[in-house]
């Protein structure tokens, strides 16, 4: 519960700027708290601070989409070299990355949406989509839709809890 309290304290202090930064970093795959902790905590904090749910959700979607574009761009230009280094240094990641590749190869653009809704691999999709040089418009549509669904479910769960019980 201590981790959630940290998020609540930072959100109270920095507001929606904190939401943007923490979600942006989460979608960049930076080490730290996972979405299952961060997003409900943001929902709880938003309810406590009187922040509009839809505003918090919108900021989280923008942050997730922008971070995804960063990873997409990096992998578009350097993906194969980075992937080789990752496979050599962290061989256990191969299974997760191969799973994402499977969905892209078999379901195309819609695979982006499917992967965005799966825990553990959902933040790898921009990297793989960039390597596959997927159409950026289609990537944007399916990725943003997946981000919106994922973030809405987790943030609303926290928001409803915070509104009803705290």
Find, among 58, 57, 62, 68, the residue nearest to 115 by Cα: 68
What pLDDT score does 112 carry? 94
Q: What is the pLDDT along the chain (166 residues), one digit of tens a residue?
A: 566 677 678 877 888 898 899 899 999 988 776 777 889 988 988 888 888 999 999 999 999 999 999 999 999 999 989 988 988 998 888 888 888 899 898 998 899 999 999 988 888 899 999 999 999 999 999 999 999 999 999 999 999 998 787 6
What pLDDT score does 90 carry? 87
Query: How many Cα atoms occupy the beta-carbon half-sphere of 45 within 13 Å?
Result: 25
List of residues 6+ apart from 117 with CB closer than 8 A = 146, 149, 150
Q: What CA–CA distance (Å, rounded) separates 33 from 99?
A: 23
What pLDDT score does 133 carry? 93
Tell me how many helices (H) and strands (E) the chain has.
8, 0
Q: How far apart are the first and last CA of the chain?
A: 14
What pLDDT score does 166 carry? 67
List of residues 6+ apart from 78 with CB closer than 8 A = none
N residues, the chain: 166
Domain hosting 50: range is 2-165
Domains contained in the chain, number: 1
């Amino acid at each position: 519960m201590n981790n959630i309290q940290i998020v609540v304290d930072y959100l109270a202090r920095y507001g929606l700027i904190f939401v943007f930064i923490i979600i942006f970093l989460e979608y960049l795959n930076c080490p730290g708290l996972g979405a299952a902790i961060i997003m409900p905590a943001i929902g709880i904090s938003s309810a406590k601070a009187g922040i509009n749910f839809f505003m918090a959700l919108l900021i989280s979607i923008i942050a997730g989409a922008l971070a995804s574009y960063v990873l997409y761009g990096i992998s578009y230009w350097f993906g194969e070299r980075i992937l080789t280094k990752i496979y050599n240094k962290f061989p256990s990641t191969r299974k997760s990355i191969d799973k994402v590749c499977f969905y892209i190869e078999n379901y195309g653009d819609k695979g982006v949406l499917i992967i965005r809704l799966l825990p553990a691999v959902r933040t790898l999709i921009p990297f793989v989509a960039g390597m596959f040089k997927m159409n950026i418009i289609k990537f944007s549509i399916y990725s943003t839709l997946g981000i919106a669904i994922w973030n809405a479910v987790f943030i609303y769960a926290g928001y409803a809890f915070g509104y009803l019980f705290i």
